[in-house]
Chain A
Amino acid sequence: MKNLFIAATLALSTPSLADTIIVQSTTSTKNSGFYDYLLPMIKKDTGIQVNVVAVGTGQAIKNARRCDGDVLLVHAKEAEEKFVADGYGEYRQDLMYNDFVIIGPDTDPADVAGASDVIDALQRIEQAGAKFASRGDDSGTHKKERALWQEAGIDPVEGSGQWYLETGSGMGATLNTGVGLSAYVLTDRATWITFANKQDAVIAFEGDPTLFNQYGVIPVSAEKCPSVNREGAEIFARWLLSETGQATIVSYKVDGKQLFFPNAN
């Protein structure tokens, strides 16, 4: 019986190749088609097959803590630095950036277009009692949003279920909800540009330097997780941080718009 079990396992399992790595990733880089563009080039240059598991940043970091990934590619600098400080990451490098925007119905009921900065924009939304759809999933975007509300001196959770709607879902699902309810949503620009169900929603507020969105890359520690493909992870990270990798990031455009801006040092 045991032999049968082992034979069945061998027959059913996909051979795990030494040159395959798993990237635990934020969703924006996947939903925007960035990986579809990038990964074939990495495969060609390095021979490494990159398998991407795209979940929210919060979940990606938790999965990596359980050793279920070789590299993290996420956007929540504080949480990333904690991950490395706790010994789970070999190191953390800035990779690229873009920015967050607030999207909303083109009628702009809270007049956020006239806001002086993003804090003012959020205060206007709360005062107008306009709907705001939040990720509510501890993702990178959600962490950013919570920090902004706190800076604005507002506890939106008090209005949870009335004007503040926590979807507990990914960026795309939250955008679908937000668009459907004519709500405002904080989203990264890349996901918004490539999102296909915009209907009458537009970018309502943008351009505040506070909305800067930094992506980082972290190989998972081989000491904490002996099962990781440390070598493959290093080749992947090095490629992204190299001149070739950084130039590739620049060259990825959707509808003529560059989605990510490299800033590895």
Chain B
Amino acid sequence: MDSLVEAFRLIITLDADLFEILWLSVRVSLVALFISAIIGLPLGTWLAIAQFPGRKFCILLLNALMGMPPVVVGLMVYLLLSRSGPLGWMGLLYTPTAMIIAQVVLITPIIAALSNQVIEHLHQEYSDTFYSMGVTGRRAVAAYLVDARYALTTCILAGFGRAIAEVGAVIIVGGNIDHLTRVMTTAIALETSKGNLTLALALGAILLTLSLLVNALVIGVREYAAKRQYA
């Protein structure tokens, strides 16, 4: 109960530090989501309709990558971006960009694998029609993406959920630096380690509320658009 009171107090007083951290969480996760969707949606769709040896294995791999532990992704991106790593010259370690990169690696397989399943179902229905109309390749991918756009929002929301809730990867590559790379989840980890369990829980409640709002917004837009389309 105390934690809820504390959460309300932070929100009502428009606590500047809180909003800075919240905004960074949202910014990092949304940019990562945007990039992952651009890569993951066409990839998942293409794998659903393309025919080449090893396709099944690619899909299997994609599904396995969904279970990749964030801390492993964090470690890989850390070694890549470290000053002594191959991309060290870019100076990206301990920046929001590093966090975005880690999250892209983490959620692209989720979006690709989930959209792959959605499109596979659709493909069973449409393949003959598309084939007779001569719609193949890139045009087919685009046509499927447009047609399945409402079902695909769930895939995107799953990616967002993973990104906004994840702590293992961003704490390694971001460093949880105050006013620079501190996000909600790393702030929760920090407060827990200070023994401020109430404050940590309050931050958790705020993060959950944020996630709820984003989901409500996306689902609301989807319902509205679907209604208009079929009205």
- A: which residues have CB within 8 A of B? 9, 12-14, 16, 22, 27, 31, 35-36, 51-54, 66-68, 170-173, 175-176, 194-198, 225, 227
Contact = CB atoms under 8 A, between A and B. Distances in A.
Closest 4 A/B residue pairs (Cβ): A172-B193, A197-B195, A67-B83, A53-B175
A16 B92 CA distance: 9
Given A22-B175, A52-B177, 17 more contacts: A9-B92, A13-B90, A14-B95, A14-B97, A27-B193, A36-B178, A51-B175, A51-B178, A66-B82, A67-B88, A173-B193, A175-B195, A195-B195, A196-B195, A196-B197, A197-B195, A197-B196
B84 interface: yes
Contacts of A171: 193
Interface in B34-76: none
25 contacts: A9-B90, A12-B96, A13-B95, A13-B97, A14-B96, A14-B97, A31-B193, A31-B194, A51-B175, A51-B177, A53-B177, A66-B83, A66-B85, A68-B82, A68-B93, A170-B193, A172-B195, A173-B192, A176-B192, A195-B195, A196-B196, A197-B195, A198-B195, A227-B83, A227-B88
Nearest to B181: A51
A196 B193 CA distance: 9
Contacts of B85: 66
A194 B195 CA distance: 9
Interface residues of B, number: 28
B176 A54 contact: yes
Interface of B: 31, 82-85, 88-97, 100, 175-178, 180, 190, 192-197
A173 B167 CA distance: 15
A12 B83 contact: no
A16 to B, nearest CB: 5
B122 to A, nearest CB: 29
Given A67-B84, A68-B82, A227-B83, A12 B97 contact: yes
Contacts of A225: 83
Contacts of B193: 27, 31, 170-173, 176
B195 A227 contact: no
